Amino acid sequence: MSEEAPFTIEQFYKYVEQGKLMGGRCKKCGTIYLPPRPLCTKCFSKDFEWVEISPKGKLLTYTIIHVAPVQFQSMAPYAVGIVQLENGLKIPGMIRDVEHEKIEIGMELQVGFEKPSATASQWPQWPRYYFKPV
């Protein structure tokens, strides 16, 4: 099934729902995309395969959001950051399960997976991944 799954953001989040961080590897030049893309922007190949990405990494930068958009207001203040995973790729996300004062650049974090919301009725119905201490 995973071989045929389209290399889309929609599919990336379907894997998140299954508790997996998956990227798309270009079969021609080997570049891994996280999130996956349908077209390799290095060699223009469309030939990809799914690869599971190690969910461990280091925090590159972060902030604490105090003024949040409407849909996140109940969570504020919350921490978000950009994590560089073990394979070198970077993704942004919320940092949870750690006191804000203890967050620091360089700290080790790993990806956690939220249960998909059963109540979402509008597009998009993506579950969220997040970062937590190792």
Partner 1 sequence: MKGKPLVSIISAGLSKFGKLEGLYGREIFAEAAKEAFDRCPNLDPKKDIQALFVGHMGESYEHQGHTGATLADWAGLLHIPATRTETACASSGAALRAGIFAVLSGLYDVVMVGGVEKMTNRTTPEVTEFLAMASDFPFEQWHGITFPGLYALMATAHMHEYGTTEEQLAMVAVKNHHNGYLNPKAHMQKEITLEKALSSRMIAWPLKLYDCSLITDGASCLIITKPELAKKYTDTPVHIIGSGQASDSIGIYERESFTSLIAAKIAAKQAYEMAGVTPKDIDVAEVHDCFTIAEIIAYEDLGFCKTGEGGRLIESGETTLEGNLPVNTSGGLKAKGHPVGATGTAQAYEIYLQLTGQADKRQVKDARIGLTHNVGGSGATAAVHIFRRE
Question: By C-alpha distance, which of 12, 44, 16 is closest to 31?
Answer: 44
**Quick one: which segment of 22-30, 44-52, 58-66 binds partner 1 (CB under 8 A)?**
58-66
Instruction: Kindly determine how many residues on this chain lie close enough to bind partner 1 according to the rule CB under 8 A.
Output: 33
- As given in the structure block, the two tokens for residue 119 are 């109540």
H-helix segments, the chain = 9-17
Q: Determine if 70 is a binding residue for partner 1 (CB under 8 A).
A: yes
**Quick one: which segment of 4-12, 20-28, 107-115, 119-127 binds Zn ion (CB under 5 A)?**
20-28
Strands 90-95 and 48-52: unpaired
How far apart are the C-alpha atoms of 113 and 109, rounded to whole Å?
13
Q: Determine if 43 is a binding residue for Zn ion (CB under 5 A).
A: yes
Within 1-30, the residues that bind partner 1 by CB under 8 A are 9, 13
Rounded least distance, CB 3 to partner 1, Å: 23
Which residue lies nearer to partner 1 by CB, 82 or 98?
82
Radius of gyration of the chain (CA): 16
Q: Determine if 40 is a binding residue for Zn ion (CB under 5 A).
A: yes
Question: By C-alpha distance, which of 66, 71, 52, 68 is closest to 111?
Answer: 52
Quick note: the x/- pattern for partner 1 over 79-118, rule CB under 8 A, is -xxx-------xxxxx----------x-------------
